[in-house]
Structure 1
Amino acid sequence: MRLDLGAIAKAGSSKANQTGSWRNFKPIFHQEKCIGCSLCKIYCPEGCVTMVEKKKYTVDYTYCKGCGICAEECSSSDIDMVVEEK
């Protein structure tokens, strides 16, 4: 990926930079205690969390860096961060 002056990536280039391999931990969505608050989706800095149906979310592991923000913000503690097995 080419960066312009000031280290700014070209618009629309984030899809080409698949950052999932950077991860040491990955989020596991249990779908048991979810109340559908969408905080995991709202706070994900990469936009990896999407709603599949009411109270069911999924993660695009191609871009998920494993930061754990989704698990930290989950108001029902329904997301666990587990060690990534490579």
Structure 2
Amino acid sequence: MQQKKFTLDINSYHIIRWDPKVQGEDDLRKMLADSLKKGAKRVAIIVKSDDVDYMVKAREVIAGFIAQTIVIFKEKEVEIA
């Protein structure tokens, strides 16, 4: 059974191509940070491997990246400078 391919509009996404056999997790984090610095609102990560473990690893990197990038506080704990 052949899987359906996704069509990504390059005008809607900042495309990151990650080859986990050549690039490490730190490289993926750097590419994510660079995309945000460039003003990307949506990012698509294309994993250059059919190994599902690398897809899981990419999701873990994204989750950690989001956890470090977006923080949540209770209103009573914050003083706005």
TM-score range, shorter chain: under 0.3
TM-score by length of 1: 0.26
Give the structure with the larger helix fraction. Answer: 2
Give the structure with the larger strand fraction. Answer: 1
